[in-house]
Amino acid sequence: MITVSVSTLAPWCVGAFLCGSIPFGLLLVKLAGKGDVREHGSGNIGATNVSRVGGKALGVVTLLLDILKGFLPVYLAKKVGISADFLPLLALAAVLGHVFTPWLKFQGGKGVATALGVILAAEPQLVILPLATFILVLWLTRHVSLGSILAAAMVPAPFLLLIGGFFGPPKWLELVPWLLLVILVIRKHRENIKRLQEGTESKLWGAKKEVTHG
């Protein structure tokens, strides 16, 4: 394990932010000759909107790349010996890069896939409950947005158990970045929350064409 200082950690955080900022959805749709994904559907650069504009295959590729760009910087930091205490900071930086990408005037996606990537790299055990929640909610409601929101809300629960939240004082250095990440993802879904409350949020499949969530 390497000694971590501000001068050591800062470049890793910047690198994670820049890696997370790559707008794969936008690039893939343009390369496929489908135009600017932001001008269609929900206007989001995430996999769901990409699948509407460019097709399901392009949506799947976007999903995998958005997961990878979150996974890679945290995984590399872990491999070189950055302390697990600091990995959540890198995870947050990568998701911030996706949500506030500087290449698109700091307008990015909602961070769900990238958040999945950073969690898989930093604390893979944390994925189980959120992923199960997402699958169950999607199966019951067909709302990607609701599944994403509730899945994000589930992230801190197993993390508190892992770091001793119920059996001792929590490690706030690790916990706070995860909580901020969850708040960020949920906040990015505020328009979806409003539509869910109004009963106007579209569904992933079914008779009604989905045009509002990305």
Specify the pLDDT at position 110: 93
| Residue 105, pLDDT score | 92
Distance CA 182, CA 21 (A): 18
What does the pLDDT read at residue 40? 87
Spell out the alpha helix ranges (H) of the chain.
6-20, 24-31, 47-54, 56-80, 87-99, 112-122, 128-141, 144-154, 156-162, 172-187, 190-198
Q: Mean pLDDT in each 10-residue stretch from start to end of the chain (214 residues)? A: 70 96 96 92 87 91 97 96 89 96 93 95 88 94 92 82 52 82 94 91 59 41
Residue 206 region by backbone torsions, left for phi larger than 0, else alpha for psi between -120 and 50, else beta: left
Three-point CA angle 178, 183, 186, nearest 5°? 125
Rounded Cα–Cα distance for residues 87 and 161 (Å): 18
Encoded tokens for 145: 């947005």
> What local confidence, expressed as pLDDT, does residue 176 receive?
87
Rounded Cα gap, residues 40 and 88, in angstroms? 34
The pLDDT value recorded for residue 48 is 85
- pLDDT value, residue 135: 94
**CB within 8 Å of 39: residues ≥ 6 apart:** none
CA distances from 86 to 17, 94, 128, 140, 178 (A): 15, 13, 22, 37, 11
Q: Which is it for the CA torsion 25, 50, 120, 167, positive or negative?
A: positive
pLDDT at 64: 97
Token pair 């930086």 is found at 93
Contacts 24+ apart (CB under 8 A), 1-7: 1/81, 1/82, 1/83, 2/80, 2/81, 2/82, 4/82, 4/83, 4/86
How crowded is residue 131: how many other Cβ atoms within 10 Å of its Cβ? 16
Q: Report how far residue 70's alpha carbon sits from residue 93's, in angstroms, rounded to the nearest whole number.
A: 9
pLDDT at 213: 42
Residue 11: how many other CB atoms lie within 10 Å: 9
